[in-house]
């Protein structure tokens, strides 16, 4: 009798294909995350940056949905915000059940703690950070979310996404390898994927309003993720991409 495949084994196998050889200790951490919170590598709910695991906004939202979260309320903290300086502060409250008193989280964003590629979107980033922190409190997740990180350039020395022209910041090549944009285009052609749906999925994966606003590290991580998913189970990937298709407008 054919045994059913273990979803956790498949997730860990996919993680190794995306991020290569993972040390035993970090693999144990990932296994615990996937088991305890039912997060998914295949859906981009956990990603690896600088040898640390991070949960994504989409992963937290799906976790809340699975746990039947009663609601999330966000409020702009006007006295702490400075619209002229593009500084925004939000308070988010997560209600796990109808009688819950709520779990509160705050999120702030301004040009100094977000990537240069998303300047102008500080308000949305602040709200997302607040929601993520509230959700992590509500469901006991000590793992930081990728959206809560400040500009990656502030933590890694010279910024890979802080170059004179942001137009090419996510796609430049300095090591003889194809630009990220070319890598992604080649991957789309190779597996006959819909470019529009791929870009929509990438934006969700990277936690940015659009793919062009994601920094180089996140784009590279997404390309590795997409490559592994296409090779591992293309049908599942197609289903995932189709979820980003806009419903056709009905005729009058």
| pLDDT, tens only, 9-66 | 889 988 888 888 899 999 999 999 999 999 998 888 898 888 889 999 989 999 999 9
Residue-level pLDDT at 70: 95
Give the closest residue to 70 by CA, choosing from 103, 34, 35, 105: 103
- pTM summary value: 0.66
Give the closest residue to 107 by CA, choosing from 81, 84, 133, 86: 133
Residue-level pLDDT at 91: 96
* Range with lowest mean pLDDT among 157-161, 175-179, 208-212: 157-161
Residue-level pLDDT at 202: 85
DSSP 3-state assignment of 113?
A: coil
Q: What is the mean pLDDT of residues 67-80?
A: 95
Q: Helices marked H in the chain — which ranges?
A: 7-19, 24-37, 57-66, 122-138, 180-190, 195-206, 216-232, 234-242
Q: Higher pLDDT residue, 67 or 204?
A: 67
Q: What is the mean pLDDT of residues 199-225?
A: 80
Q: In what order do the strands lie in the sheet with 88-95?
A: 71-76, 88-95, 103-109
Task: Give dist(CA 188, CA 228) in Å, integer.
Answer: 13
CB 38 within 8 A of CB 63: yes
From residue 58, alpha-carbon distances to 10, 46, 69, 84, 182 in Å are: 20, 9, 14, 30, 26
Residue-level pLDDT at 137: 95
Residue-level pLDDT at 98: 92
Residue-level pLDDT at 250: 46
Question: Would you place residue 105 in the very low, low, confident or very high pLDDT band (cuts 50, 70, 90)?
Answer: very high
* pLDDT, tens only, 108-132: 999 998 877 778 889 999 999 999 9
* Range with lowest mean pLDDT among 17-26, 83-92, 206-215: 206-215
CB 89 within 8 A of CB 122: no
Residue-level pLDDT at 249: 47
Asked whether residue 171 carries a pLDDT value surpassing 70, the answer given is: no
CB 219 within 8 A of CB 170: yes
Residue-level pLDDT at 247: 57
Average pLDDT, the chain: 81
Q: What is the mean pLDDT of residues 86-96?
A: 96
Task: Give dist(CA 65, CA 136) in Å, integer.
Answer: 13
């Amino acid at each position: 009798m054919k045994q059913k495949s273990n979803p956790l084994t498949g997730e860990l196998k996919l993680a190794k294909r995306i991020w290569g050889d993972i040390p035993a200790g970090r693999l144990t951490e990932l296994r615990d995350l996937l088991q305890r919170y039912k997060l998914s590598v295949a859906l981009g709910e956990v990603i690896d940056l600088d040898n640390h695991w991070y949960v994504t906004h989409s992963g937290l939202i799906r976790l809340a949905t699975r746990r039947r979260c009663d609601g999330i309320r966000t409020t702009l903290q006007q006295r702490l915000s400075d619209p002229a300086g593009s500084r925004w502060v939000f308070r988010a409250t997560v209600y796990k059940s109808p009688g819950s008193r709520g779990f509160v989280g705050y999120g702030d964003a301004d040009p100094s703690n977000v990537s240069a590629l998303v300047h102008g979107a500080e308000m949305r980033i602040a709200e997302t950070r607040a929601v993520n922190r509230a959700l992590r409190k509500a469901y006991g997740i000590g793992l930081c979310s990728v959206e809560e990180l400040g500009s990656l350039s502030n933590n890694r020395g010279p910024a890979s996404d802080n170059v004179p022209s942001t137009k090419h910041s996510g796609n430049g090549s300095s090591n003889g390898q194809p630009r990220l944009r070319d890598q992604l285009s080649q991957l789309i052609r190779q597996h006959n994927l819909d470019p529009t749906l791929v870009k929509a999925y990438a934006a969700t994966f990277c936690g940015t309003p659009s793919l062009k606003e994601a920094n180089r590290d996140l784009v590279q991580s997404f390309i590795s993720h997409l490559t592994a998913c296409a090779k591992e189970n293309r049908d599942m990937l197609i289903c995932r991409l189709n979820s980003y298709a806009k419903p056709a407008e009905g005729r009058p």
